[in-house]
Amino acid sequence: MTPEPTTGAAIRFDGVGKAFAGPKGQVTALEDVSLTVQPGAVCGIIGRSGAGKSTLLRMVNGLERPTSGTVTVAGHDVGRASGSALRGIRRDVGMIFQHFNLLASRTVFGNIALPLEIAGTPSDRIRVTVNDLIARVGLEAQRDRYPAELSGGQKQRVGIARALATRPKVLLSDEATSALDPETTQTVLRLLGDINRDLGLTILLITHEMAVVRDIASHMAVIDQGRIVEAGATYDVFVRPQHPTTRSFLSGVTGVTLPQFIAGRLEQTRPDAASQEVIRVTFAGDHATDPMLARLTGQMGIDVNILAGAIEEIGPRPFGNLLISVDAMRGDDARAYLERHGLLTEVLGYVR
C-alpha cells in the first residue's frame, strides 16, 4: 500500500526560546525564534556548530520543550502536549538521522517494519506497506540484508523508508547527508525531493552545508547563536543575502571568492584616484546571461576587470555571481548603471 499523498502540515515557531542548565550556568540555545514552514515546503535550516539547529528540530517532535514561546505542528501545540496527544503528533512527524540509527540485529525489512509493529499494525498490512516502501526507496535487492551489509546511502534509504512507515505529514532530517559522499548525497537528496513532490510531505532539514540547501530546499533560514538571522525563499536568500553569516556560508558554495592576491590587499578605506573598487555583481533570473559588463564598457566607457565568477541554478532558475573591479572614481556610476539594469551590486572594498 503506497502512503497516500497528504496535504502536509505547517510547522510554526512563535517567539521560541530554549535555555539549558549547563555546568557553568545557563546556556541559551535559542532566543526569540519565529519561523513558519508552509505545507509541502522543504525548509533548510543552516547554521554553524552549536548554533541551535538540533534543538530547533527536536522541538518539532517534542524531544525538547521550549522554555518560552510555542511550537505548533498542523495547529497542535507540541510543547504543551503530553500522553496520547503527544503520541498523535509524533506519528505525524518522521525523522531521519546523520548516523541512520538502524537496529543492527534487524534486516532492512525488519527495520522498516519496527514503527508499524510498535503501532500494533496487523502483520499482513505490515508486509504490504513495508514491501511498498522498500520499492519506493529502491532497495528490493537488499530486503533481507542487515545494516552491516549496506552502504551508507542504502542505510539512509532504510532510514527514510522507516520514517515514512507511519505516513507522517512532516519529515525531520538531522544532517541526513553529512556522513555521505557527494554523489550519494545527491541521490539521497533526489529521493527526498521525489517524496516531497509525490506525497506532499513537509520537510524540515538541518544542515551546515549550503549546497544541500541549494539542491533541495524551497525555503531556508539561517541560524546564528540561537537566533534566526535571515529567512525566506532559497532563491531570494541566495541572490540577495543580507546577513554576514549567510554571506559567509554562500562564499563556500558559489565558489566565487576573491583571488588571494586581491583578497590580501583589500581595504575599506576611502578610495583615491589610484584605487580600484571591488564589486560583487549578482545576476538573477533572465539577467543571468546578459552581456551587461560589455555594455558597461561600451555605453559608459568604464573598463571592467573580471576577478572571479560562476553561474548557478536553484531549481530551474539561474543566477550568477561575478567579482569585478573598476576605477574607484567611476564606482558609483558603474553600480548605478548595473542596478538600473536589474543587477544587484555590493562593494567589497578597494585595492591600490
DSSP 19-41: EEEETTEEEEEEEEEEEEE-TT-
Min. distance of Cβ 89 from ligand ATP in angstroms?
20
Min. distance of Cβ 324 from ligand ATP in angstroms?
35
8 Å CB contact between 158 and 111? yes
Residue 2 DSSP symbol? P
**Which has the closest alpha carbon to 135: 93, 194, 215, 200?**
194
What gap in Å lies between CA 143 and CA 161, rounded to an integer?
12
Nearer CB in complex with ligand ATP: 11/278:
11
Place of cell 546578459: 290
Min. distance of Cβ 247 from ligand ATP in angstroms?
19
Nearer CB in complex with ligand ATP: 217/324:
217
Min. distance of Cβ 224 from ligand ATP in angstroms?
10
Nearer CB in complex with ligand ATP: 159/349:
159
HSE-CB for 315 with a 13 A CA cutoff:
13
CA dihedral (100, 36, 320, 279) positive or negative? negative
CA 43 to chain centroid: 6
Nearer CB in complex with ligand ATP: 27/306:
27
Min. distance of Cβ 325 from ligand ATP in angstroms?
37
**Helix %, strand %, coil % for the chain, to 5?**
40, 30, 30
Nearer CB in complex with ligand ATP: 50/259:
50
Min. distance of Cβ 245 from ligand ATP in angstroms?
12
Min. distance of Cβ 264 from ligand ATP in angstroms?
31
Nearer CB in complex with ligand ATP: 93/322:
93
- Complete edge-to-edge strand list for the sheet that includes strand 202-207: 93-97, 170-174, 202-207, 42-47, 219-224, 227-233
45: left (phi over 0), alpha (psi -120 to 50) or beta: beta
Min. distance of Cβ 59 from ligand ATP in angstroms?
10
8 Å CB contact between 134 and 161? yes
Min. distance of Cβ 126 from ligand ATP in angstroms?
34
What are the φ/ψ torsions at residue 132 (nearest 5 degrees)?
-65, -45
Nearer CB in complex with ligand ATP: 51/237:
51
What gap in Å lies between CA 175 and CA 252, rounded to an integer?
18
Cα dist from 84 to 32, 78, 90, 124, 197, whole Å: 29, 12, 10, 26, 30
Nearer CB in complex with ligand ATP: 29/195:
29
Query: In the complex, which residues of this chain contact ligand ATP (CB under 6 A)?
Result: 20, 22, 27, 29, 47, 49-55, 208
Burial class from Cβ neighbours inside 10 Å (0-12, 13-18, 19+) for residue 352 reads exposed
